[in-house]
């Protein structure tokens, strides 16, 4: 038997064990995917343990996506410019870091909403860790324009500058503006169990009539922001597809085989249905 798992603090509510476990089983792979709740003083030892020959690697979640980087042997692709790793792969005792969060969102846009970012304009609401990965991935996917609005404006400026240092152009907006093709809520406003479960990041009226409204929050399936957009007859995409696609990309890094995406969606939806709306 081989092992994989999710490293974070806390990880009790993570859906990854549910859909990754289902994916390994569906592919006939003898892999157990565990919750590895890891406090800060245990992080180095936890990462070291991934080098064992029976370990495929791990996912990394809040708050350790940045902290793990110096503990790895190589950080590839977007992860090094984004400055955050959500997937670690063990290859013969060497640890490779990747970031599949932004690519997961781009895959979700393309495959679940039929929306290719190339040549389109985006308004990101929020400038935290999630916004960072998404902003880089959208710029990389040749979005025509990326505007970032954040409740605390200085963080939007910092993110704009980080993208600029990597050779990408985007704008820090003092106010959310209408006129973008796609608006993405990357904040925790509206998230079950978060600091503002009943809230919206901005009033819907502030964003005009975009072709697509996305919320990366997946519980509840329709946040107040997404529900208001759907009510106003806008096209909407919830957060579950991004979660699943970042997971399929991680699975493919570990195994080298195509992830069984339908199995992963089904397992996650069943687990989410077990919660009250
Ligand atoms: P994550 O890694 O999930 O992005 P984070 O780095 O803590 O988490 O960032 C949370 C984001 O949600 C920030 O952009 C935060 O805005 P501030 O920088 O002003 O704190 C945003 N956010 C959280 N609650 C919000 C709310 N009720 N309305 C608007 N923005 C909110």
Compute, in angstroms, the gap from residue 117 CA to the centroid of ligand 1: 23
Which among 125, 149, 158, 187 is the best mutation to test ligand 1's pocket, defined by most ligand atoms within 8 Å of the CB?
Answer: 187
Index of the ligand 1 atom closest to the CA of residue 196: 27
- Give the CA angle between residues 193, 183, 84 to the nearest 5°: 65
- Give the CA angle between residues 248, 4, 24 to the nearest 5°: 50
Tokens standing for 176?
């959310």
Residue 96 CA neighbour count, 13 Å, CB half: 13
- CB-based burial label for 154 (10 Å; 0-12, 13-18, 19+): exposed
The Cα–Cα gap between 84 and 100 comes to 10
CA dihedral 105, 10, 250, 235 (to 10 degrees): -20
Compute, in angstroms, the gap from residue 188 CA to the centroid of ligand 1: 6
pLDDT tens, the chain, 277 aa long:
999 999 999 999 999 999 999 999 999 999 999 999 999 999 999 999 999 999 999 999 999 999 999 999 999 888 999 999 999 999 999 999 999 999 999 999 999 999 999 999 999 999 999 999 999 999 999 999 999 999 999 999 999 999 999 999 999 999 999 999 999 999 999 999 999 999 999 999 999 999 999 999 999 999 999 999 999 999 999 999 999 999 999 999 999 999 999 999 999 999 999 864 4
Contact (CB, 8 A) for 130 and 136: no
pLDDT at 277: 46
Contact (CB, 8 A) for 95 and 71: yes
The Cα–Cα gap between 36 and 82 comes to 24
**Pocket lined around ligand 1, Cβ cut-off 6 Å:** 126-131, 150-152, 155, 186-189, 195-196, 199, 201
Integer CA distances (angstroms), 171 to 79, 122, 181, 212, in order: 22, 10, 15, 20
Query: For the chain, how many residues are written?
Result: 277
Q: Closest Cα to atom 29, ligand 1: which residue?
A: 201
Contact (CB, 8 A) for 198 and 227: no
Q: Closest Cα to atom 25, ligand 1: which residue?
A: 189
Could you tell me which of 204, 207, 265 has the C-alpha nearest to residue 239? 265
Q: Closest Cα to atom 9, ligand 1: which residue?
A: 128
Q: Closest Cα to atom 22, ligand 1: which residue?
A: 187
> Which residues are catalytically annotated?
65
Which among 65, 86, 129, 188 is the best mutation to test ligand 1's pocket, defined by most ligand atoms within 8 Å of the CB?
Answer: 188
Could you tell me which of 28, 32, 29, 35 has the C-alpha nearest to residue 6? 35
Compute, in angstroms, the gap from residue 128 CA to the centroid of ligand 1: 6
Partnered with residue 212 across adjacent β-strands are 182
Strand 171-173 to 94-98 pairing: unpaired
Integer CA distances (angstroms), 91 to 73, 84, 96, 136, 163, in order: 10, 20, 8, 26, 30
pLDDT at 78: 84
Q: Is omega for the bond preceding 63 within 30 degrees of 0, making it cis?
A: yes
């Amino acid at each position: 038997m081989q092992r994989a798992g999710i490293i974070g603090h806390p990880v009790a509510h993570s859906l990854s064990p549910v859909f990754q476990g289902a994916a390994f089983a569906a592919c006939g792979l003898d892999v157990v995917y565990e919750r590895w709740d890891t406090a800060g003083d245990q992080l180095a030892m936890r990462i070291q343990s991934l080098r064992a020959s029976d370990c495929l690697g791990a996912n990394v979640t809040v708050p350790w996506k940045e902290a793990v980087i110096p503990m790895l042997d190589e950080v590839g692709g977007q992860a090094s410019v984004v400055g955050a790793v959500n997937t670690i792969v063990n290859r013969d005792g060497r640890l490779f870091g990747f970031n599949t969060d932004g690519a997961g969102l781009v895959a979700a846009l393309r495959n679940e909403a039929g929306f290719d970012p190339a040549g389109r304009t985006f308004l990101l609401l929020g400038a935290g860790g999630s916004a960072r990965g998404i902003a880089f991935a959208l710029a990389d996917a040749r979005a025509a324009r990326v505007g970032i609005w954040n409740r605390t404006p200085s963080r939007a400026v910092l993110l704009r500058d980080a993208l600029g240092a990597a050779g990408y152009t985007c704008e820090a907006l003092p106010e959310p503006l209408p006129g973008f093709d796609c608006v993405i809520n990357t904040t925790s406003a509206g998230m079950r169990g978060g600091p503002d479960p009943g809230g919206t990041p901005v009033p819907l009226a502030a964003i005009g009539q975009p072709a697509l409204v996305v919320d990366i929050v997946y519980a509840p399936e329709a946040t107040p922001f997404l529900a208001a957009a759907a009510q106003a007859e806008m096209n909407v995409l919830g957060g579950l597809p991004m979660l699943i696609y970042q997971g399929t990309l991680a699975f493919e890094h570990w195994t080298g085989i195509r992830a069984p995406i339908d199995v992963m969606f089904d397992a996650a939806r069943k687990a989410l249905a077990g919660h009250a709306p």
